[in-house]
């Protein structure tokens, strides 16, 4: 926002509240305060007394404080307005909208008075590190599920889970983009380079312009006060990075053990906010032990289905009549299909039918790298189990898996649970007692065995 936009913005608010536009002195007060001038300087420029400028200012700050439900004064006017999530383009929308709204985001449902109240309150939205979404296909059911859990049921802890590249980040970002106006605080953080819980909480409190206390207990109290007072949505992406490698899924690294307590607090304490965890691994805290006492939900993503044809269309591939075969082969997994499309363009002149004639599930180096990263996270039992199970064509029962392996029965059972929590070993669609590996994973295991 530049100074002219600020003046126009304040003028719009004042006009909405009083029916009158800003006069010359009021404009000078807004401009001067924005430029960090003293009342003395402003008074000299306008040729009026300092007291008069002070009175005009006091009246303005009172009006703005009421409009935003926040204490606005000369010494915090600029910092407060800089906090507003208003870009020039959004400002144009505000100007042209009939009723004043604090933010003009895309809305799904705008006729609720509580929502309108949120528009007028100051929002702390920090989506700097969230990916930009240009194309978004399918996932209507998943979006509805998220809306129901978060907006209707007000579930405090939601986990969006699935294989790397399946579309977790994209889905959650789309949900956030569609529902920005529903939350006073939205903060997106990635734990790709995980930081201590202490630093994460400092970071969250900073975004909410809170001076952080010294001790972690006090900081948590500050944070939960905000969760109670404001409707917040916090997204923690790439959560799997706080889990330890070469052990069963969802075990916290020693230095990140306190995240476990934090996640337990989110479901155990009453507040009005939601946290979305995005992860390739499920951990115990995501699974509700008692749905009334500790409300939480998991959304496990599978492929995009037929809608993945849009990905192939985007890559301008040929032979549309066989696209569904390609999608089926790669299980509608958007990232695999993106990599394969590039390969087809580069080596098969974009001819999908030619590629399919290879009659072989081909893995590009990029797909192999994705699997390698997952492989490196597995415990020895899980690795052994995958290699053995990949040798068989049919889905296997728990007892059949046990027979294939030498580790103890407990290890095998824990291994099955862990592979299931990583979405690598899945239950057969036709028989819940049988376990399956995806053909793409089998192709990878064949390469490395």
* Interface residues toward ligand ADP, by CB under 6 A: 135-139, 162, 164-170, 304, 334-335, 338
Residue of 391, 393, 388, 442 lying closest to 415 (CA atoms) = 388
Output 86 or 301, the one with its CB closest to ligand ADP.
301
- Taking the complex as a whole, the smallest distance from the CB of residue 5 to ligand ADP amounts, in Å, to 33
E strand or H helix at 435 = strand 434-437
Backbone angles phi, psi at 299, to 5 degrees: -115, 115
What are the distances in angstroms from CA 110 to CA 160, 179, 180, 181, 230?
A: 26, 10, 12, 9, 19
Binding mask 354-373 for Mg ion (x = CB under 5 A): --------------------
User: How many Å apart are CA 328 and CA 332, to the nearest integer?
Assistant: 6
- Taking the complex as a whole, the smallest distance from the CB of residue 251 to Mg ion amounts, in Å, to 21
Output 165 or 194, the one with its CB closest to ligand ADP.
165
Output 162 or 395, the one with its CB closest to Mg ion.
162
- Taking the complex as a whole, the smallest distance from the CB of residue 301 to ligand ADP amounts, in Å, to 7
Output 48 or 298, the one with its CB closest to ligand ADP.
298
| Share of the chain residues as helix, strand and coil, in percent rounded to the nearest 5 | 55, 10, 35
Q: Could you say which of Mg ion, ligand ADP, none residue 224 binds, taking C-beta under 5 to 8 angstroms by partner kind?
A: none
- Taking the complex as a whole, the smallest distance from the CB of residue 162 to ligand ADP amounts, in Å, to 6
Q: Starting from the edge strand earliest in sequence, which strands make up the sheet with 396-397, in order?
A: 396-397, 434-437, 425-427
Q: Could you say which of Mg ion, ligand ADP, none residue 156 binds, taking C-beta under 5 to 8 angstroms by partner kind?
A: none
Q: Does 241 bind Mg ion (CB under 5 A)?
A: no
Q: Could you say which of ligand ADP, Mg ion, none residue 421 binds, taking C-beta under 5 to 8 angstroms by partner kind?
A: none
> Under rule CB under 5 A, how many of the chain's residues touch Mg ion?
1
Q: Does 33 bind Mg ion (CB under 5 A)?
A: no
Q: Could you say which of ligand ADP, Mg ion, none residue 167 binds, taking C-beta under 5 to 8 angstroms by partner kind?
A: ligand ADP
Q: Could you say which of Mg ion, ligand ADP, none residue 39 binds, taking C-beta under 5 to 8 angstroms by partner kind?
A: none
The piece of 143-151, 163-171, 318-326, 356-364 that touches Mg ion (CB under 5 A) is 163-171
The piece of 35-43, 56-64, 166-174, 353-361 that touches Mg ion (CB under 5 A) is 166-174
Nearest residue to ligand ADP by CB is: 167
Q: Could you say which of ligand ADP, Mg ion, none residue 250 binds, taking C-beta under 5 to 8 angstroms by partner kind?
A: none
Q: Does 170 bind Mg ion (CB under 5 A)?
A: no
The piece of 81-89, 91-99, 164-172, 386-394 that touches Mg ion (CB under 5 A) is 164-172
Angle at 129 between CA 185 and CA 104, to 5 degrees: 45
Task: Name the maximum alpha-carbon separation found in the chain.
Answer: 94
Q: Does 169 bind Mg ion (CB under 5 A)?
A: yes
- Taking the complex as a whole, the smallest distance from the CB of residue 310 to ligand ADP amounts, in Å, to 7
Backbone angles phi, psi at 158, to 5 degrees: -125, 135
- Taking the complex as a whole, the smallest distance from the CB of residue 426 to Mg ion amounts, in Å, to 20
Q: DSSP letter string over 232-294? A: EEEEEE-GGGGBPTTSSTTPBPGGGTHHHHHHHHHHHS--S-EEEEEESS--GGGS-SSTTTS
User: How many Å apart are CA 431 and CA 412, to the nearest integer?
Assistant: 20
- Taking the complex as a whole, the smallest distance from the CB of residue 421 to Mg ion amounts, in Å, to 17
Output 164 or 206, the one with its CB closest to ligand ADP.
164
Bridge partners of 125, per DSSP, are 186
- Taking the complex as a whole, the smallest distance from the CB of residue 281 to ligand ADP amounts, in Å, to 12
Contact partners, residue 39, CB within 8 Å, separation at least 6: 32, 50, 53, 54, 57, 74
What are the distances in angstroms from CA 314 to CA 3, 13, 134, 206?
A: 42, 44, 12, 40
Residue of 186, 185, 218 lying closest to 201 (CA atoms) = 218
**In 3-state terms, what secondary structure has residue 448?**
helix
Q: Are 309 and 323 in contact (CB under 8 A)?
A: yes
Residues found near Mg ion in the complex (CB under 5 A): 169
């Amino acid at each position: 926002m530049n100074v002219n936009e600020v003046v126009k913005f304040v003028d719009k608010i004042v006009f909405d509240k009083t029916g009158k536009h800003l006069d010359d002195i009021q404009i000078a007060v807004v401009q001067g305060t924005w430029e960090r001038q003293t009342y003395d300087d402003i008074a000299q420029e306008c040729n009026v007394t300092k007291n008069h400028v002070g009175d005009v200012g006091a009246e303005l700050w009172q009006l703005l404080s009421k409009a935003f439900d926040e204490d606005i004064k000369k010494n915090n006017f600029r910092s407060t307005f800089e906090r507003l999530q208003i870009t020039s383009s959004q400002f144009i929308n505000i100007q042209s909208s009939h009723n004043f709204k604090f933010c003009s985001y895309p809305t799904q449902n705008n006729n609720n008075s509580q929502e309108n109240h949120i528009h007028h309150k100051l929002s702390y939205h920090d989506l700097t590190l969230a990916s930009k979404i240009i194309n978004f296909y399918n996932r209507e059911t998943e979006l509805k599920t998220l809306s129901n859990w978060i907006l209707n049921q007000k579930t405090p802890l939601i986990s969006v889970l699935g294989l790397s590249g399946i579309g977790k980040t994209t889905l959650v970002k789309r949900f956030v983009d569609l529902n920005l106006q529903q939350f006073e605080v939205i903060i997106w953080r990635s734990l790709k380079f995980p930081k201590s819980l202490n630093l994460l909480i400092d970071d969250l409190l900073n975004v909410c312009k809170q001076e952080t206390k010294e001790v972690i207990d006090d900081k948590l109290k500050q944070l939960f006060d905000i969760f109670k007072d404001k409707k917040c949505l916090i997204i923690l992406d790439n959560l799997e990075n706080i889990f330890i490698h070469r052990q069963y899924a969802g075990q916290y690294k020693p230095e990140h053990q306190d995240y476990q307590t934090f996640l337990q607090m989110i479901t155990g304490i009453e507040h009005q906010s939601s946290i979305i965890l995005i992860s390739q691994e499920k951990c115990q805290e995501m699974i509700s032990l008692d749905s009334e006492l500790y409300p939480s939900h998991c959304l496990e993503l599978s492929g995009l289905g037929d809608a993945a044809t849009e990905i192939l269309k985007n890559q301008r591939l040929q032979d549309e009549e066989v696209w569904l075969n390609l999608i089926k082969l790669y299980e509608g997994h958007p990232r695999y299909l993106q990599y394969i499309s590039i390969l087809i363009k580069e080596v098969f002149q974009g001819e999908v039918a030619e590629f399919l004639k290879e009659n072989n599930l081909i893995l590009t180096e990029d797909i192999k790298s994705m699997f390698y990263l997952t492989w490196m996270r597995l415990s020895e039992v899980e690795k052994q189990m995958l290699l053995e199970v990949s040798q068989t064509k049919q889905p296997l029962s728990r007892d059949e898996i046990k027979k294939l392996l030498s580790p103890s029965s407990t290890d095998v059972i824990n291994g099955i649970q862990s592979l299931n929590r990583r979405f690598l070993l899945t239950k057969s669609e036709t028989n819940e007692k049988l376990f399956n590996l995806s053909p793409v994973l089998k192709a990878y295991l064949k390469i490395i065995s």
